[in-house]
Amino acid sequence: MWTARIYVTLKPGVLDAQGDTVRSALETLGFKGLADVRVGKFMVLTLNGLTQKEATAQVEEMCKRLLANPVIEDYRFELEEAAG
Amino acid sequence: MRFGIVVFPGSWSHQDFYHVIVNVLQEEACYLWHKEADLHDSDCVILPGGFAHGDYLRSGAIARLSPVMRAVAAFAESGGLVLGSCNGFQVLTEAGLLPGALLANDCLHYRCRWVHLRTESRQTPFTSAMQPGQVVRMPISHGDGRYYIDQTGWKRLIDGDQIIFRYCDQTGALTNDANPNGSLDSIAGICNERRNVLGLMPHPERAAEPILGSEDGGLMFASILDAFVRSPLTTCGDRA
């Protein structure tokens, strides 16, 4: 059993309006030194009955075909063996 | 002329389109439930506004996987007319039928208001009834309307005369204030290279009667009808 932790974020060149708003909110609270805030999505998938290689290939494909939109988003993921 | 209006769970503008087509234009319309991959001999397919599948993951991301979208893609491929408004525009970009993507409005507010649009090209079956550069008035109602495309794609849109509407002020000037969502290059609507698929964030169906404060959206319907009358077979899908 594998756990995939997937991170989807807007590409560096794409304005992240939500991230900018969160940054200004943090500054309102008095936090200093914030150069940038990016807000993204975090997804956790549990996969069964696959080898590590198969699971990696499948999550990669899922990200490309649905979980991220390559026009505006980047993704990365970590795969970890889960107790099953 | 027969219009097919796609209905996803969460669509909300399908009845407005139906009303305009049947009661205002006196043409035929039918609903196309998203689970069916059958367009029921439609001459023009409409993807209406709303929140298909709750806009989960991203606006339009789940809707483009519905069976009806396979039929819509094949219809577009054969030259059929496809119009997507608001959520329908988002679905068309997610489905790859139009380039680019729609992001959260830069102001982060849901914006529901009247806007002015400059008609940038009349060379489509959806805008032929407008005057060159005509400023039209239609409402918007969206949270994710910020059009984005990378530099290469943007240049391709310009070179191909595919930017059809830009947000402007009432004089036709492109200003930051007139751009309600931070769209790149004030883009409000684009078409594909073949010019038979058009997506726009504003709602032409909510501006097609005097009682609603504008009839400018009606010009889009008039254009579609005109294209169909002139060339029903070549313009609206291969129906040999």
Domain ranges of chain A: 2-14+40-81
CB pairs under 8 A between A and B: 37
Partners of A49 in the beta sheet? none
pLDDT reading at B74 higher than 60: yes
Contacts of A67 in chain B (CB under 8 A): 57
Angle at B103 between CA B126 and CA B107, to 5 degrees: 105
Confidence of residue A84 (pLDDT cuts 50, 70, 90): low
**Architecture of the structural domain at B2-235:** 3-Layer(aba) Sandwich (3.40)
Residue B101 phi, psi dihedral angles, 5° rounding = -155, 165
CB contacts under 8 A, A 9-38 vs B, are 10, 13-15, 17-18, 21
pLDDT digits 0-9 by tens, B15-46: 999 999 999 999 999 999 999 999 999 999 99
Judged on CB neighbours under 10 Å (0-12, 13-18, 19+), A50 is middle
Strand (E) or helix (H) holding B219 = helix B218-230
C-alpha–C-alpha distance, residues B125 and B222, integer Å: 9
Nearest Cα residue in chain A from B152: A71
Helix or strand or coil: residue A4?
A: strand
First to last CA, chain A: 6
ipTM: 0.88
C-alpha–C-alpha distance, residues B91 and B27, integer Å: 25
| Domain limits, chain B | 2-235
pLDDT digits 0-9 by tens, B174-201: 999 999 999 999 999 999 999 999 999 9
pLDDT digits 0-9 by tens, B123-179: 999 999 999 999 999 999 999 999 999 999 999 999 999 999 999 999 999 999 999
Return the CATH fold of A2-14+40-81: Mth169; Chain: A , (3.30.1280)
